[in-house]
Chain A
Amino acid sequence: MHILKFRRFSLPESQVTPEALVFGRRQAMALGAGMLAAGPAMAQQAGLPPAMRNTRYVPGRAITAEREVTTYNNFYEFGSHKTISAAAQRMPMRPWTVKVEGMVENPRDYGIEDLLARMPLEERVYRLRCVEAWAMVVPWTGFPLSALLAEVKPLSSARYVVFQTATLPSVMPGLRQSWYPWPYTEGCTLAEAANELSFMVVGAYGKLLPPQNGGPIRFHQPWKYGFKAGKSIVTIRLTDQRPVSFWEKIQSQEYGFWANVNPAVPHPRWSQAQERMLGTGETVPTLLFNGYGEFVADLYTNLQRERLWA
């Protein structure tokens, strides 16, 4: 009689990783190893000015393959699914103007080329944790938001920074849903905006930021869930009024103002204790503040009554 014995290393066929993903992972690891070996390498390609890597921010994980990051995207103006990258290519990236307005001494309009030329560009490898429990590690090129704030000089009355995404109905099918509170609006406190981690992103993987990832310019605060990061930004406004964000208007119980990453506080419909790494599919524990607590925990010491984690 033939007896089948289950061994610890036995796996069903259904759990075998597809060949494409295996090779994609190897390429990603090779890329990550190469970039680490290069140290503060110069990110320079395809129109993006040179930018040194800032090694102060260590992701602690391998860099996600570029192909994964540029083909698995949340950009609600283009749809609710992840394969919006082709549709996003229709978004015109030049000319592009970012208006900085509101409670500042020096309101002004910045052409994107002007920003690229005058802001102190650097590369930072940040983790990104989506509220949907997937994550990635991306070498972003950009500049600290504090550098822009220093130029426009917030008034002492300013308390919040609001980011608005472009509204281009001719190329964004999601805008046909006129009942939603477009434009996509997000915001944070001025203290959060001035934190050293707050980053205006203009590139990724040493190239100009592609439209599906929020090009030509997006925001990123790596200790918050990804939806807090406005993409394809056209307006930055400083105000004394706490903004009500796009998702907060739609589902405030699920997507709040603060949205700091916390594995102990589940989303109403799923756990946030773990995250699935894009590309490898590996599941890893989620970290408080996405692992950036040493940089940002102090921002919230007197805010315990707020819903900091949703």
Chain B
Amino acid sequence: MRLIGLGLLLLAAGLFAIFGGDPLGAVLFRLDPGILNLAQAVVQRYLLPVLWDDVLLPVLEAPSWVVPAIMGGAMTLFGWMRARG
């Protein structure tokens, strides 16, 4: 788990180096302009509209490095705590 966490932290550092503070959504849009539209249609039409607006959109509006940094930090910490028993 610690290894995965460290990998995610490295990914976060890489995203920060490349894209700076650009939102995750903007980065994904740059990589594939149609992917977010498709994802939004699936979520809002077949699951729940507010799931996109209130949950996923805030994530997409955040800088691209934030999600892997949080996940990586949490996994590294959890792995370290578990290793200590």
Q: Which A residues fall within an 8 A CB radius of B?
A: 79-83, 173, 176-180, 249-251, 254
Contacts and interface: CB of A to CB of B under 8 A. Distances in A.
A180 B29 contact: yes
B25 A178 contact: yes
A251 B44 CA distance: 19
A80 B57 contact: no
Interface of B: 23, 25-26, 28-30, 33-34, 36-37, 40-41, 43-45, 49, 52-53, 57, 60-61
A278 to B, nearest CB: 15
Contacts of B61: 176, 178
Interface of A is mostly: loop
Contact of A177 (B41, B44, B57): B57
A87 B59 CA distance: 22
A249 B33 CA distance: 8
Contacts of A180: 29
Nearest to A250: B33
Q: Is the interface of B mostly helix, strand, loop or mixed?
A: helix
A177 B53 contact: no
A24 B82 CA distance: 61
A80 B37 contact: yes
**Residue among A83, A180, A249 with most chain B CB within 10 A:** A180
B53 A178 contact: no
Contacts, number: 45
B59 to A, nearest CB: 12
Contacts of B34: 250-251, 254
A272 to B, nearest CB: 18
A4 to B, nearest CB: 35
A127 B15 CA distance: 48
B33 A81 contact: no
Given A177-B57, A179-B23, A80 B40 contact: yes
Minimum-distance CB pairs A-B, first 4: A81-B44, A179-B29, A179-B26, A80-B40
A83 to B, nearest CB: 7
A175 to B, nearest CB: 11
Contacts of B28: 179
B60 A177 contact: yes
Given A176-B61, A178-B23, A79 B37 contact: no
19 contacts: A79-B40, A79-B53, A80-B37, A80-B40, A80-B43, A80-B45, A80-B52, A81-B49, A176-B57, A176-B61, A177-B57, A177-B60, A178-B23, A178-B25, A178-B26, A178-B61, A179-B30, A251-B34, A251-B37
